[in-house]
Structure 1
Amino acid sequence: MNICKKIGWVFVGGTTLAAATGAQADFFADSSGNLDLRNFYFGRDFRQSNSRDSADEWAQGFILRLQSGYTAGPVGFGVDALGMVGYKLDSGGGSGGTGLLPADLTSKGSQDEYGKLGLTAKAKISKTELKAGTLFFRDPVVSSNDTRLLPQNFRGELLNSADLNNFKLIGGHIDQIKANNSTDFEDMSANRFGGVSNSFNFGGGDYQVTPQLSLSARYAVLEDVYQQYYGGLNHTFDLGGGHSIKSDLRFSSSKEDGSFRSIDNRALGGMFTYKIGASSFGAALQRMNGRDPFPYITGSDPYLVNFVQINDFANIHEHSWQVRYDYDFAALGVPGLTFMTRYVNGDNVERAGGGEGKEWERNMDIGYVIQSGALKNVGLKWRNATVRSNFGNDLDENRVILSYTVGLW
């Protein structure tokens, strides 16, 4: 795996530089390395008569993550490296397009293999950290997507600070995005809107009011496309005896930026979860207001309570609700085995051809992580989804993911 060798040389070069400054102790002692192995099957059946029959692919991915510690002194410096390769095992007789592998335009199928290399420089003062280069992170206004063989990455700068008591501050700039199944960084666009931008700026913070209550606020701009304000509240109420109620409230207001087309969206959502022992019962409501759907960077994950396996339920004027159930089989003596099922229903969608748009999606996840023995930490997950809509695609989908993380040091 040549890409892993390249990362190794980069990492060794960085540690040699640290040693030359006489500050190698923390740089080495706090370093870590691991290799994620991900075997991924993706099968999607299209149920409407005017589309292709299916999209099926099976692939093997390797994700090498190397992280240094920080050099000694008032300002600590470090470097991280990320190397990823994906190999096609089967493409269902040329039926690609699942997002696991890059398209092969000559054969109308998928490429046999692809690789990515990412480097990140970092600096730290007290509890404030700055990273620059390849980024993978999740935030209410922009989140990296990790739902395929290899994760999606950003390029830019990210600042996190926890120096103020009970506050976490964050700010960042992104100029490029690299899709899950792409080897190249590209400019960004807005999902459902288009537009092209090479600048996304955001900032805000989280305030831990009490151990049970936190508040969040963000402001973000995809330059020349859209502006977005976000506010959130998370609260957990302990009822005692293993019972609790968790509330997750989210509000976003979006409008156009610069000369791009007019954008008008206000998204309100709330998820409420009642936990009793090993069971969790959840219910969510989500509502889109304004003339437009919810805008977010194409290829990233939108921070919406009803964003699930396939759909985001964020169309014009859409109203949606969700019911969800989770169970942890550790309570029955099978630690590592988990189950989740949910159903989301959306209506009141403004359709281009007139009439009311309606859609629903049902998901089921079953996962197991081996807890001991030679195969400890090997995980297997089956994700199943069904989608029906009177304005979009009717889909049946299965994903089977076998994963294992090897600690290198």
Structure 2
Amino acid sequence: MYKSPLALMVSLSTLAQYAAAAGFIDDSQLTLSLRNNHFTTDNRESRGKIGNAAYTGQNKEWGQAFVLSYASGYTLGVVGFGIDALGQLGVRLDGGGKAGKAGVSRTPGQLFPLESDNSAVDDYAKLGLTGKARFAKSELRVGTLQPKLPVLLSNDGRLLPQTYEGYQLTSKDIKNLTLVGGLIEHAVGRSSTNDTGLAVNGGTRQSNKFTYAGGDWAVTPALTAQYYYGKLEDYYVQHFVGLTHVLPIANDQSLKTDLRYFRTSADGANDTAAGRAEGYAGAGYASTTGKIDSRVWSAAFTYTLGSHTLMVGQQQLSGGSGFYQVAQNSLPNEGAGPGSYYLLTDRQVSSFIRAGERTRFAQYSYDFAGLGVPGLSASMIYLKGDEIRTANGPDQHEWERDIALDYVVQGGPLKGVTFSVRQASLRSGAVSDLDQTRLLVNYKLRLL
């Protein structure tokens, strides 16, 4: 972690110059990504079975992110070597502990790390370095990673992205087959500068060993099959199987089928009462308190007709607990959020992963290029979950509605700038109700 944002940027500039001098420049890339995020959460009163909590007001935060990403080329030879660097700087523009008018709080919530007095920091920065080696069509990466896999999905839903530390080997030497394997030992949360061990939601003890392997097989140009394995030592073992198929109907019509299945079971300490009592336990309802045991299947069908896209689907949880993957949000005094989940129900506010939960959902999207406005798009999704199991009382239910509007500037001095509005409402018997709005401006500038 770099204490000085200026020192961070200078270090990355020096690294880029060194890479050029060392001969990496031919295939090197240097990009600067800018993100402005105004994040408002309206914490509504509870209307469910957990009691009648009072209205707690709003959390408002506003920040500017700068992400400088450098990827070198490779040295010549049978085995090529290179280095990547990821410099991140977040600056607080508003929010973070100042009292506001009645019913409105400026307390920190989602975007920034906290000082010792629980106020948000003015800025925070972090630097990640990755060494890499390439042989034929295989690549080994060591250091900072941002996996995009069904069993481990880095979160980029706030100001700065979540990163992991470890090793990953990717091979494309076999035609139509991509194989991936790796080991993760630490993570740095999206709103944190500290690297920590790994856990799950509810887990307070750190594990430093998440191993994974799997692959994607393009059976045909239209059909892809996936299998992945993940094991977080002393927490869980997970298997994933996925199948996607795209059926062309006409020039502007298609039907996509997306089938997914996860099986997750306890490992090591989580499989024993003593281990769970020590903190190797999951949160939420479970047939055996804190023990991980779930099955999740989902099916979604997406029909596209010109500028219109309609998706409908269902997801079902079964077994003795909710769904779990690697997370940091329950580790004490870290302030780091969870990762993302490779689930069709992982949305702006909720993920619909409680024990026994059945979720039906539908999403409609429209591309306004069909009306002569290229760059403008909108979507709305509605999800309804029910049959949520509880220790006492009847099953609970919840619903979420998300609306998104995006515009990418098509020309002029602002070409490529993206303006986005995200609004979500959650009404739940399992947690307090809330409304959330995000105003985003994103821009990526190629420097090299």
TM more than 0.5: yes
The answer as to 2:313 corresponding to 1:284 is yes
Output one character per residue of 1:183-206: Cα deviation in whole Å (capped at 9) or x when no partner.
111011112455421110000111
Q: Is the 8 A contact 2:65 2:91 kept in 1?
A: yes
Cα distance 1:353–1:56, how it changes in 2: closer, same or farther (>3 A)? farther
The answer as to 2:367 corresponding to 1:328 is yes
Output one character per residue of 1:312-368: Cα deviation in whole Å (capped at 9) or x when no partner.
101000000100001111111111111010000000001234221111000001000
Residues in 2 aligned to 1:374 and 1:32: alpha-carbon distance in whole angstroms: 22
Q: Is the 8 A contact 1:192 1:293 kept in 2?
A: no
- Name 1:45's counterpart in structure 2: 42
SS in 1 for 2:410: coil
Query: What is the CA distance between 1:210 and its match in structure 2?
Result: 0.4
Residues in 2 aligned to 1:341 and 1:195: alpha-carbon distance in whole angstroms: 39
For residue 26 of structure 2, what is the amino acid of its counterpart? A
- Name 2:13's counterpart in structure 1: 8
Residues in 2 aligned to 1:211 and 1:151: alpha-carbon distance in whole angstroms: 32
Stretch moving more, 380-389 or 96-105: 96-105
Stretch moving more, 139-148 or 295-304: 295-304
The answer as to 2:126 corresponding to 1:97 is no
For residue 140 of structure 1, what is the amino acid of its counterpart? P
Output one character per residue of 1:281-307: Cα deviation in whole Å (capped at 9) or x when no partner.
001100001010001111111111111
Query: What is the CA distance between 1:217 and its match in structure 2?
Result: 0.1
Residues in 2 aligned to 1:12 and 1:223: alpha-carbon distance in whole angstroms: 41
Residues in 2 aligned to 1:98 and 1:270: alpha-carbon distance in whole angstroms: 34
For residue 87 of structure 1, what is the amino acid of its counterpart? V
Q: Is the 8 A contact 2:19 2:25 kept in 1?
A: no
Structure 1 length as normaliser, TM-score?
0.95
Residues in 2 aligned to 1:384 and 1:278: alpha-carbon distance in whole angstroms: 22
Structure 2 length as normaliser, TM-score?
0.87
Give 1:269's match in structure 2, choosing from 283, 298, 315. 298
Output one character per residue of 1:133-191: Cα deviation in whole Å (capped at 9) or x when no partner.
01112100001000000000000011111110110000111000100111111011112
Query: What is the CA distance between 1:13 and its match in structure 2?
Result: 3.9
Compare the two structures and name the one with the higher strand fraction: 1
Residues in 1 aligned to 2:192 and 2:208: alpha-carbon distance in whole angstroms: 17
- Name 1:200's counterpart in structure 2: 210
- Name 2:395's counterpart in structure 1: 356
Residues in 1 aligned to 2:357 and 2:202: alpha-carbon distance in whole angstroms: 14
Residues in 2 aligned to 1:245 and 1:268: alpha-carbon distance in whole angstroms: 20
How many residues get paired?
Answer: 400
Q: Is the 8 A contact 1:322 1:343 kept in 2?
A: yes
Alignment of 1:148-297 (within 5 A): 148-261=158-271, 262-297=291-326
Structure 2 gaps, min length 5: 1-5, 46-52, 100-105, 272-290, 328-337
Query: What is the CA distance between 1:15 and its match in structure 2?
Result: 4.8
Alignment of 1:390-405 (within 5 A): 390-405=429-444
Instruction: Give the superposed CA RMSD.
Output: 1.3
Cα distance 1:130–1:89, how it changes in 2: closer, same or farther (>3 A)? same
Q: Is the 8 A contact 1:284 1:306 kept in 2?
A: no
Residues in 1 aligned to 2:296 and 2:120: alpha-carbon distance in whole angstroms: 37
Stretch moving more, 236-245 or 146-155: 236-245
**Percent of residue pairs bearing the same amino acid type:** 38
Q: Is the 8 A contact 1:11 1:80 kept in 2?
A: no
Give 1:381's match in structure 2, choosing from 405, 409, 420. 420
Output one character per residue of 1:233-281: Cα deviation in whole Å (capped at 9) or x when no partner.
0000111141110011100001011122432100001111000001100
SS in 2 for 1:190: coil
Cα distance 1:303–1:206, how it changes in 2: closer, same or farther (>3 A)? same
